[in-house]
Amino acid sequence: MIDIKMIRENPEAVKENIKKKFQDQKLVLVDEVAELDKKFRDAKTKGDALRGDRNKMSKEIGSFMKQGLKEEAEKAKAAVKQIDDDLIALEKNEEEMTAEIKKRMMVIPNIIDKSVPIGRDDSENKEIKKYGDPVVPDYEIPYHTDILEALDGLDLDSARKTSGNGFYYLMGDVARLHSSIISYARDFMINRGFTYFIPPFMIHSDVVNGVMSFDEMQNMMYKIEGEDLYLIGTSEHSMIGRFMGRTVKEDALPYCLTSYSPCFRKEVGAHGIEERGLYRVHQFEKQEMVVVCKPEDSMKWYENLWQNSVDFFRSLDIPVRTLECCSGDLADLKVKSCDVEAWSPRQKKYFEVGSCSNLGDAQARRLAIRIKGENGNYFAHTLNNTVVAPPRMLIAFFENNYQADGSVRIPEPLQPYMGGQKLMVPQKEKKNMF
């Protein structure tokens, strides 16, 4: 949510930003907010004048009573009563206008950074840099579900029976590897000075409305029936919500946090060959990083956060690239964002494994997260980034570590978490437990 002062002082800049995001249908909102805001401020001015008149008349009533001027006192009382009635109606009108202004402000997109490339959708995102050599071996890389099933590590059929499409069972060494990656990501971020958290996995609607747009919420979040609770789509939601309504000390910043959580999402996505298996699922686990900082430091932290993801994947010898998100691909709260994509030797292309976002003060405004400074309070900036999100990351892992004989290498950083195991080998005969 932007500062309403921008609409008061420079509405054309707000409209130009909307055009850059190709959301021309929202242009009318700027004029509507400006008109409502003027009416609101006029009402406030009128209300202040009425309160002044009421105070003056209230004093006169006492004076009339002391002088025995009963008739004048009754007239003044009637006038005060009329002012009270007028103020009640005026205050109700102010509340309604406040709600209407907020309703519109919540969907006006945040002001994007000047460096963001202009484009309609993700097809116009810009590659920033590649890290590592994208290798295509001279032997065939099977589809990831085939690799995992050969390792006796994946059961999709049973998951469809218990839960439906978009769910899975991981088993044996594959399940252990999944947990090892999460544990390694946790320690990787702790070693970079981040404080480790396990947050609540459900949050109230006021937190949801503070961290994301309504459209995102509708497309992503699962609501708990009969309760004001939503399952989180990422731990960023509850981690930012932790600061809701708080005023933090300037000298305590930045807060650098890394959090583990399961994540729950409605949308499975398009149905095609690359959507089959573990690419888009209803639940997964993730290690996240979140920063709350001063406004002047947020771009520095943005660069640090995405670099952490690149370094993490490169420590496992997985080639990646960074991709700058264009204006039309940015969610409404974001100032700037980039994706980290991992190399798929089977597909001979990169695919998204994480996203880094600077949200400026948008979330802080919605959740009233302020910084106490020497010259008064001001809104914090918030950022988030994915460290790693298996099982999607498992696709990149298994494809890049798959060997011609069907075995899979375990990179050195993960070996301690796997009990020293260096190799995963296909099971010659699957164990039949039924």
Per-residue pLDDT of 346-361, as tens digits, reads: 999 999 999 999 999 9
Reported as a pLDDT band with limits 50, 70 and 90, residue 216 is confident
pLDDT over threshold 60, residue 336: yes
Q: For domain 122-424, give the CATH superfamily.
A: Bira Bifunctional Protein; Domain 2 (3.30.930.10)
Inter-CA distances, 427 with 141, 151, 152, 153, 172, Å: 17, 5, 6, 10, 11
Burial profile 242-266: b = 16 or more Cβ within 10 angstroms, e = fewer: bbbeeebeeeebbbbbbbbbebbbe
Residue 366: the pLDDT is: 96
Contact 395, 344 (CB under 8 A): yes
Paired strand residues for 285: 262
Categorize the per-residue pLDDT at 418 as very low, low, confident or very high, splitting at 50, 70 and 90.
very high
Percentage with pLDDT > 70 across the chain: 96
pLDDT by residue (tens digit) across 302-312? 999 999 999 99
Would you list the domain boundaries of the chain? 4-105, 122-424
Q: What is the pLDDT of residue 193?
A: 98
pLDDT at 434: 44
Tell me which CATH code domain 4-105 carries. 1.10.287.40
Q: pLDDT exceeding 90 applies to what percent of the chain?
A: 82
d(CA 402, CA 360): 41
pLDDT band at 427 (very low <50, low <70, confident <90, very high): confident
State the average pLDDT for the chain. 93
Q: Rounded to an integer, what distance in angstroms lies between the CA atom of residue 161 and that of residue 103? A: 42
Question: Band of the pLDDT at 388, cuts 50, 70, 90?
Answer: very high
When comparing pLDDT for 51 and 148, which is higher?
148
- Position 275 pLDDT exceeds 70: no
Confidence band for 271, pLDDT divided at 50, 70 and 90: very low
* pLDDT tens-place string over residues 58-85: 888 888 888 888 888 888 888 888 998 9
The residue with greater pLDDT, 272 or 213, is: 213
Q: Is the pLDDT of residue 430 over 60?
A: no
* Helices and strands (H and E) in the chain: how many: 13, 18
Residues 237-243: what's their mean pLDDT? 97
Measured CA to CA, the distance from residue 376 to residue 311 in angstroms comes to 38
Q: What is the pLDDT of residue 269?
A: 52
Q: What is the pLDDT of residue 417?
A: 98
**Cα distance between residue 232 and residue 240, in whole Å:** 12
Q: Are strands 255-264 and 195-197 parallel, antiparallel or unpaired?
A: parallel
Q: What is the pLDDT of residues 94-151, one digit of tens each?
A: 999 999 999 999 999 999 999 999 999 999 999 999 999 999 999 999 999 999 999 9
29-38, 274-283, 328-337 — which is least confidently predicted?
274-283
Average pLDDT over residues 29-34: 97
Measured distance CA(134)–CA(343) in Å, rounded: 6
Q: What is the dihedral of CA 196, 201, 207, 213, to 10 degrees?
A: 100
Residue written as token pair 């583990």: 260
| pTM for this prediction | 0.90
Mean pLDDT, residues 197-207 taken together: 97
